[in-house]
Structure formats: C-alpha cells, structure tokens
Structure 1
Amino acid sequence: MLLMTIEVALLISAVSLAFGLYKGIADSKRNHKKDVQDDTSALTTVIVKLETISNGVTEIKSEMNNIKSELKESRERIIKVEESSKQAHKRLDSLESRQKILAE
C-alpha cells in the first residue's frame, strides 16, 4: 500500500512536471509569435514613414528644380531689360548732345 502511494505521488509529480514543461513551452512560443508580430508591425510603420519622407524629399527636389529654372528665366529677362535700358540711355544721351549742338 505504501508502495502504491509512492507510485501515485511519483505519477502525479511526473504528470505535473510534464504539464508544466508543456505550458512553459507553449507560452514561450506564443510570446515569441506576439513579439514577431509586434516587431513586424513596428517595422511596417517605420517603412511607411520612410516612404512618406522619401516622397517629401522628391517633391522638394522637384520644387527646387522649378525654382532654379524660374530664377534662370528671371536673370535672362533682367539682362535683356538692362541691355534695353543701356540702349535707351545711349539714345537719350545722343539726343541731348544734338540738342546742345543745335542750341549753340
């Protein structure tokens, strides 16, 4: 009878140990899966943010190119206006010198 009681106690201990190991491994796998899902979610968020930043940088580059071309056009127009202004001043100076000659 005593031997049977010890065997039952050992059997209960072995079953408890096996259940504990099973539960620990199952929880570990579940936690690992959750960690992988959390990491995947965080990585996806980072990738989306990086894509948004990349799109913003691309737009800024495009706008900068537009500004550069507009600035170049403005410089060319200013140069033409300055040349025209110089020619107008030369003509005015020529007219003034003719008037002085006629007035004398």
Structure 2
Amino acid sequence: MTISTEIGILIAIISAFIALISLLRLYSRDGKGATKDFTRVETKIDYIGGDIKDIRDDVKAVSVRQEDMAERLVKVEESTKSAHHRIDDIEGKIK
C-alpha cells in the first residue's frame, strides 16, 4: 500500500468516527428534550388533578347545601300547611 492510500483510509476512519459521535450526540439531545417535554406534561397533569380535586370539593359542598335546603323546604311546607289549616279555621269562625 502506498502512503496516499493509507492516508485516505485513515481519513475515512476518522470521518466515520466523527459521524458516529455526532449522531450519538444528536440522539442524546433529543432524549433530553423529550425528558423536558414529559416533565412539562406531568406538571400540567398535576395541576389539572389539583383543579379536579377542588371541583370535587365544591360539588360536595353544593350537595351538602342542597340537602340542607331540602330539609328546610320540608319544614316550610309543613309550617305552611299548618298555617293554612289555622286560616281555614279562622275563616270558618268568621262566617
């Protein structure tokens, strides 16, 4: 082999090595970017989960207030019924 052939082979090997290193660096950067994206998504999911918990608590509070209102409505209806009976008795006495 001549010196120019050996230099050509050496340059080809170095070029292939540099290309391999560049390719590995490119893939490692994509992995870091993907990790950042996944972290961002996980953070947003955590915020959404917190918001859902707050909404669930609000719904429970509304349910409790609704039950309280239902109990009060029953009492008001009973009181109204009793008042109507008394009014009817008074009307009967007036006539």
Band the TM-score falls in, shorter-chain normalisation: over 0.9
1:56 to 51, 54, 63: 51
Q: Which amino acid aligns with 1:60?
A: I
- Note the C-alpha offset of 1:56: 1.0
State TM-score, norm by structure 1.
0.85
**Alpha-carbon distance in 1 for matches of 2:12, 2:50:** 57
* Deviations, residues 69-102 of structure 1 (Å, cap 9, x unaligned): 11111111111111101101101111221222xx
Percent identical among aligned pairs is 24
Gaps of 5+ in 1: 1-5
- Note the C-alpha offset of 1:40: 0.4
1:99 corresponds in structure 2 to 94
Ranges of 4+ aligned residues in structure 1 off by more than 2 Å: none
Please identify the structure whose Cα radius of gyration is greater: 1
Aligned-residue Cα RMSD (Å) equals: 1.1
Gaps of 5+ in 2: none
Aligned residues: 95
- Note the C-alpha offset of 1:23: 0.4
1:26 corresponds in structure 2 to 21
* Deviations, residues 12-46 of structure 1 (Å, cap 9, x unaligned): 11211111111011001100110100110111111
